Amino acid sequence: MSSAISTNELTKRYRGKTALAGITFDVPAGSVMGVIGPNGAGKTTTMRLLLDLIRPTSGYARVLGQDPRVGGTALRSRIGYLPGELRLDGRATGKDLLTHYARLSGRVQAGTVEALAERLGFDPTRRIRTLSKGNRQKLGLIQAFMHRPDLLVLDEPTSGLDPLVQQEFLALVRDAKDEGQTVFLSSHVISEIQQAADFVIILKDGHIVNSRSVSALRSEAARKVRFVMQSDDLEGDRSRITYEAGLGNVRTLEEESGSRVVVEGTLESTPDQFIKALARLTIVDLVIEEPDLERAVLSFYENDLEGAASHAH
Ligand SMILES: Nc1ncnc2c1ncn2[C@@H]1O[C@H](COP(=O)(O)OP(=O)(O)OP(=O)(O)O)[C@@H](O)[C@H]1O
């Protein structure tokens, strides 16, 4: 599969401060790639380099097969970009601004702006300076999506959006992917990346500390399990739960009345092994939680020194 974006040792330094320390990654065409990382990790810097808003200190990027430094307006018109900080002001209305952008790109089909405004609940007749943060963000999203670009580069796309609009945004991303468009988006929130993305890059202090598919991240992440069982032999059942069912960090709490016991732990075996071992116990209630991706990502942040060192070699 061809790459919509590929970088090689992409590096950006500002007077001694390293914003991006040589990152190498690929975004397969037609996929959704999420970039997650704490403040100052280098997410915005990466995106600005891809858009040729800033230039690399060393290393290079290819965007839709071209060097962003030479792609010019032809390349730019194939990209939809939502900057992290939208500087919008003025007496013009949202519609005025979108019409202006649409003329510049020359690729917006009739009805597209209206359809996007409708989906996101955006009123294009309002003056831009009167718009709330969330409504400015919607305007930014409409201008990024409206010309159906081959590549969408979205810096914190859901910041300021209420949960319903966030869901609609995720639907827009799915639709874009269905149309064969590539999406590169950043977020602070793993749940969003989990819902939207095929792949994730975890960035910290200008280094990629990890990159993998979202499904791999899910299958590696710890799942918490909680159940209530009827037990007359707690010792025996505890050992069955630990060794046969493969539950780690087992905690048990005997309920005051009767022989019910609440059991909590983390799933270290497969769900299949776990369920089959549990079948021999008397289970009153059972909850297996979603994989805790948040914690998995945080552990990558914490262990980043190792990751950064191995990347440096
Ligand atoms: N123009 C600049 N001059 C000096 N340092 C800069 C400049 N732009 C970015 N940096 C630094 O580069 C690092 C990476 O910044 P960047 O904005 O890419 O991070 P980010 O991951 O987007 O963070 P956030 O989540 O806070 O938006 C930060 O330490 C930042 O202070």
- Output 279 or 311, whichever has higher pLDDT: 279
> Residue 137 Cα, ligand 1 centroid: separation in angstroms?
20
Q: Are residues 47 and 114 in the same domain?
A: yes
Residue-wise pLDDT for 48-103, tens only, equals: 999 999 999 999 999 999 999 999 999 999 999 999 888 777 788 999 889 888 88
3-state helix, strand, coil in the chain (%, to 5): 40, 30, 30
**Pair 147, 107: CB distance under 8 Å:** yes
Q: Are residues 166 and 227 in the same domain?
A: no
What CA–CA distance (Å, rounded) separates 138 from 248? 45
**Pair 6, 27: CB distance under 8 Å:** yes
- Indicate whether residue 80 lines ligand 1 (CB < 6 A): no
**What's the confidence (pLDDT) of residue 194?**
87
What CA–CA distance (Å, rounded) separates 50 from 151? 11
What CA–CA distance (Å, rounded) separates 311 from 265? 34
Probe target for ligand 1 pocket from 10, 12, 17, with the most ligand atoms within 8 Å of CB: 17
ipTM of the complex model:
0.96
Q: Are residues 79 and 185 in the same domain?
A: yes
- Indicate whether residue 53 lines ligand 1 (CB < 6 A): no
DSSP class of 126: S
Residue-wise pLDDT for 150-196, tens only, equals: 999 999 999 999 999 999 999 999 999 999 999 999 998 888 888 89
Structural domain includes residue 196? yes
The CATH number assigned to the domain holding 10 equals 3.40.50.300
Q: Are residues 98 and 202 in the same domain?
A: yes
Burial category of 229 from C-beta neighbours within 10 Å (exposed 0-12, middle 13-18, buried 19 and up) = buried
Region 140-146 average pLDDT: 95
Structural domain including 284 reads 222-288
**Pair 187, 216: CB distance under 8 Å:** no
Domain count, the chain: 2
Looking at the chain, how many residues does it have? 313
Q: Are residues 194 and 237 in the same domain?
A: no
Is beta strand 151-154 parallel, antiparallel or unpaired with respect to 58-63? unpaired
Position 36 pLDDT exceeds 70: yes
State the amino acid at position 311 in one-letter form. H
pTM of the model: 0.83
Among protein residues, the one whose CA lies closest to atom 26 of ligand 1: 39
Q: Are residues 180 and 264 in the same domain?
A: no
**What's the confidence (pLDDT) of residue 147?**
94
Structural domain includes residue 297? no
Atom of ligand 1 nearest to the CA of 37: 21
Residue-wise pLDDT for 90-139, tens only, equals: 788 999 889 888 888 778 888 899 999 999 999 999 999 999 999 999 99
Which tokens sit at 36?
């997650």
Q: Are residues 121 and 70 in the same domain?
A: yes
> Residue 284 Cα, ligand 1 centroid: separation in angstroms?
52
- Indicate whether residue 47 lines ligand 1 (CB < 6 A): no
